[in-house]
Structure 1
Amino acid sequence: MKEASIKVQGMSCRSCVPKIEGAIRTMGAEGEVNFDQGTVDVRFDESKIKISDIEKAIREKGYNIA
């Protein structure tokens, strides 16, 4: 499993956390959002998912990737 940290902009409240985590899960990855730091730590199988696909799923929920 590959691990990466993604800096996310636009999280205005803690209700953003499940939206982002849900987007990551639909990709088949695991993720943990750190609201206070504005980051998402993800774990994924590089043979099945690209980090750019995970970032796209987060952007589609209305957030920006720093």
Structure 2
Amino acid sequence: MSNITLNVQGMTCGHCVNSVEGAVQNLGAAAKVDLPNGSVTIDYDETKVSLEAIKEAIEDQGYDVV
């Protein structure tokens, strides 16, 4: 298992949290959004999902991974 924290811009509310966490969970990973800090901590199995796929799933929800 790998663990990474990404900085994500554009998250402002509970809906944002649900959107990002749900998108990552749909890939088989676990996400925990820290809304005040604008970050997302992700636990994932790199043999099952790539970091690029996770970033793309977050960006598909309308947020920017920086």
1:13 CA drift (Å): 1.9
Q: CA RMSD in A?
A: 0.7
Distance in 1 separating the partners of 2:44 and 2:12:
26
Q: Secondary structure at the match of 1:15?
A: helix
Superposed CA deviations along residues 14-61 of structure 1, whole A, max 9, x for unmatched, are 321011000000010001000000000000001111111000000000
Distance in 2 separating the partners of 1:60 and 1:25:
14
Distance in 1 separating the partners of 2:41 and 2:35:
11
Q: What's the TM-score, normalizing by structure 1?
A: 0.95
**2:14 is matched with which residue?**
14
**2:31 is matched with which residue?**
31
Tell me the number of residue pairs that the alignment of Structure 1 and Structure 2 aligns.
66
Which blocks of at least 5 consecutive residues in structure 2 are unaligned? none
**1:51 is matched with which residue?**
51
Which blocks of at least 5 consecutive residues in structure 1 are unaligned? none
Q: Give the ranges of 4+ consecutive aligned residues of structure 1 lying more than 3 Å apart after TM superposition.
A: none
Distance in 2 separating the partners of 1:15 and 1:28:
20
Q: Secondary structure at the match of 2:7?
A: strand
Percent identical residues: 36
